[in-house]
């Protein structure tokens, strides 16, 4: 049976810039960075301790997905503190933290390629 989600793809223009954003700005660990073919790299990043890794890669023919809603939801313990920290590091938010009708607190932010990600407080 399925035990967990191993990887999820984030479509990016420039793998190096994406790596620097996820590693240096968001503080993710680099789990893998190795050559993949003549022009690409297989890069996996993840929040510390997470099982699921994010792959920063765009397959040929999927370039139109760069800069769209990713469908990824990141969790944090204190959304106001996370918002404040990421804003100070230059992360642009599409939506500031707001209480939702379902009871949670949600924000949306852009990565370096203008992909939109969701941030929720656990």
pLDDT in tens, 62-108: 999 999 999 999 999 999 999 999 999 999 999 999 999 999 999 99
| Domain residue extents for the chain | 7-121
The angle subtended at Cα 77 by Cα 72 and Cα 81, nearest 5°, is 100
Average pLDDT of the chain to the nearest whole number: 96
CATH for 7-121 (3.40.50.970, 3.10.180.10, 3.10.129.10, 3.40.50.720): 3.10.180.10
Nearest in space to 72 (alpha carbons), one of 103, 43, 46, 34: 46
* pTM of the predicted protein model: 0.93
> What confidence score (pLDDT) does residue 40 get?
83
């Amino acid at each position: 049976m399925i035990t967990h989600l191993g990887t999820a793809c984030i479509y990016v223009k420039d793998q190096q810039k994406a790596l620097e954003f996820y590693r240096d700005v968001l503080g993710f660990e680099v789990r893998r960075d190795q050559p993949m073919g003549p022009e690409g790299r297989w890069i996996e990043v993840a929040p510390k301790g997470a099982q699921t890794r994010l792959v920063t890669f765009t397959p040929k023919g999927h370039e139109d997905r760069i800069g769209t809603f990713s469908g990824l939801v990141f969790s944090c313990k204190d959304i106001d503190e996370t918002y404040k920290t990421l804003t100070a590091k230059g992360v642009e938010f599409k939506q500031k933290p707001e209480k939702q009708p379902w009871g949670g607190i949600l924000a949306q932010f852009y990565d370096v390629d203008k992909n939109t990600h969701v941030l929720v407080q656990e």
